Chains A and B, each alone.
Chain A
Amino acid sequence: MAMPMESPISFTNVGRIKWWQRGIFASQTGYVLLALAVLLVIMHFASPYFFTEGNMQNVAKNFSFIAIATLGVTFVIITGGIDLSVGSMMCFSAMITSMVMTELSAPGSPLVHMAADGKTVLANVPGLILLVSVLAGLGVALIAGLVNGFCIAVLGLSPFVTTLGMLSIVRGLGYVVSNGRGSFPGGPDADYFYAATSGDVLGVPVPFIYLMILALTMAVVLHHTSFGRHVFALGGNEKAAELTGIPVVRVKIEVYVICALAAGLQGIIISGWLGSAPANMATSYELNVIAAAVIGGANLAGGIGGPLGAIVGCVLLEVIRNGLVLAQVSSYWQQTLVGVIIILAVLVDRIRSRMT
């Protein structure tokens, strides 16, 4: 059936696109990365404390506190959706985790069988309580993510409205289960919990290590699996994705579940650093997370984004915050500046794409 080719096609009319006009060099992520590098140099000269080990650890830890959730929301943004429920999800997962941990460790709790030595059975296996409680925290995130995905992909509700509702539902449930007081990690595994969420390995903050692992995984998933390809196709042209036989509904549900799980994990890590999960924890964090993703180059119209951009966005936000503190500028300026940067980043990208 295949026709013999007279000769391989010659590209007489179609030039090759120059290397600096494609890939990362032609992306908003590239520009923002450049801006970040410039900013780091400026900071170095502006404050002798900036590049000290202690400050770097601080920066690494602080941006890791929103970056994992940013990775998750980036998946959703690439498909052209939005998830406003991440802040509430962080709080609720953290709260459930610490409540389950305390409950399973408490002698006399109706859920727990006592062993002969007066401890609960679960407490006799080191780390088991921790494991069960983290799974419980992620479990509620999974359920909320499934509900988001179901409403959006199957019922066809708008992502903005659905997740706005979920923001309120999950925050409300957090107040309900804790009676508005929040909760604290407790019991024999609490030390493991603190070590696993806010400890260091060879001077590197643990959250930063989680972030790197997850970001690398995300890069592989997005660019080297068919799931990742379908995520991009969905954001590029949803109708085309459907016509070519991509399981659109499944992919959509999956991205909202991934986003909710990332937010849940992020919340659990933050609660380890805070030492508690107050009921108003991570309020309005969804805005920081979405801002970081957008600054890093994720396009709210869909089809563009990635882990590098998500991290660059988070680092930029944190360096600015940190820099303002070191420069002894009132930290109230931070929010204003973040807003300016969001608009600038998108503006620069718009100007660039007009020029080519």
Chain B
Amino acid sequence: MAHADTTPVLELSGIGKEFGAIRALHDVDLQVLPGEVVGLMGDNGAGKSTLVKIIAGNFRPSHGEIRFAGNAVHFSRPVDARAVGIEVVYQDLALADNLTAAANVFLGRELKRKFGPVALLDHKAMAARALELFGELRSETRPDDLVKQMSGGQRQAVAIARTRLSNARLVMMDEPTAAISVRQVEQVLGLIHRLKEQGVAVMLISHRMPDVFAVCDRVIVMRRGEKRADKPIHETSPEEVTALITGAKEAA
């Protein structure tokens, strides 16, 4: 771990979650450091999405504590998580196809200019800032093109640009490479590198082993609601991770 001396941006201790009689998560501890890319892997039903939803503020944990940048936090809605600097890039990207790239980036936090009593949208400023963000992500995306007409990689860039707008410190990406072409996967992994360069911590939730091994510094494996492994990427192998996911190997 490169940044072992800094405070973790996210620290979970003893996180558990029950839905009625079903125990979805049990005693999960984990840390994410600034600028670190952590892969979160596990089979369907392993508790990945429950964990992500707890961090994103969709669910409250039944047990345990969440600390963000050293402070204990309690999220009751996703907006609370966003307020401290946690952004989620959803699997379906949560983009409105009928709007432009710039409009999507600024959705819900539009820039406005006051004209007397009325506040009108500042199209120019939003387009300029969006172009700047696409530039940082090195994505060839025009702010005033409709999202409908964009490639998968460009759509990812729009969704990620949205997280840059608020200067998020932790970005969680849910299966960003699940349904796109090989070239676009390269672009998305590039985008994750851009985030890392800027000191943003990234949590990558993915089923795709090659992608995790290509960009992550560390991999966390979940199985049956528990954390079974948490290893630097160079100390493990796809074979070991597969064994951990399927349960052929209990823990590492």
Q: What is A's interface to B at a CB cutoff of 8 Å? A: 1-3, 5, 8-14, 16-17, 22, 220, 223-226, 229-230, 232-233, 235-237, 239-241, 243-246, 303-304
A56 and B197 CA atoms in complex are apart in Å by 66
Question: How many whole Å from A217's CB to the nearest CB in chain B?
Answer: 11
- Is the Cβ of B78 less than 8 Å from the Cβ of A229? no
5 shortest interchain CB distances as A-B pairs: A236-B96, A303-B98, A240-B94, A236-B98, A244-B108
| Given A224-B121, A233-B99, A237-B97, A246 contacting B107 (CB threshold 8 A) | yes
| Given A1-B199, A3-B198, A17 contacting B149 (CB threshold 8 A) | yes
- 14 A-B residue pairings within 8 Å (CB atoms): A5-B132, A5-B135, A9-B138, A22-B146, A224-B120, A225-B118, A229-B110, A235-B98, A236-B99, A240-B94, A241-B107, A246-B107, A246-B108, A303-B98
A239 and B194 CA atoms in complex are apart in Å by 27
B175-194 near A? 1/0 per residue, CB < 8 Å: 00000000000000000001
Residues of A within 8 A of B103 (CB): 229, 232-233
Interchain pairs with CB closer than 8 A, number:
97
- Is the Cβ of A241 less than 8 Å from the Cβ of B96? yes
Residues of B within 8 A of A236 (CB): 96-99
A8 and B82 CA atoms in complex are apart in Å by 29
- Is the Cβ of B96 less than 8 Å from the Cβ of A303? yes
A246 and B93 CA atoms in complex are apart in Å by 16
Residues of B within 8 A of A13 (CB): 140
| Given A3-B194, A235-B98, A244-B108, A16 contacting B142 (CB threshold 8 A) | yes
- Is the Cβ of A303 less than 8 Å from the Cβ of B140? no
B94-125 near A? 1/0 per residue, CB < 8 Å: 11111100010001111010000011110100
- Is the Cβ of A229 less than 8 Å from the Cβ of B99? yes
Question: How many whole Å from B234's CB to the nearest CB in chain A?
Answer: 26
A189 and B123 CA atoms in complex are apart in Å by 46
A226 and B121 CA atoms in complex are apart in Å by 7
- Is the Cβ of A237 less than 8 Å from the Cβ of B145? no
- Is the Cβ of A225 less than 8 Å from the Cβ of B120? yes
Question: How many whole Å from B138's CB to the nearest CB in chain A?
Answer: 7
- Is the Cβ of A1 less than 8 Å from the Cβ of B194? no
Residues of A within 8 A of B99 (CB): 229, 232-233, 236
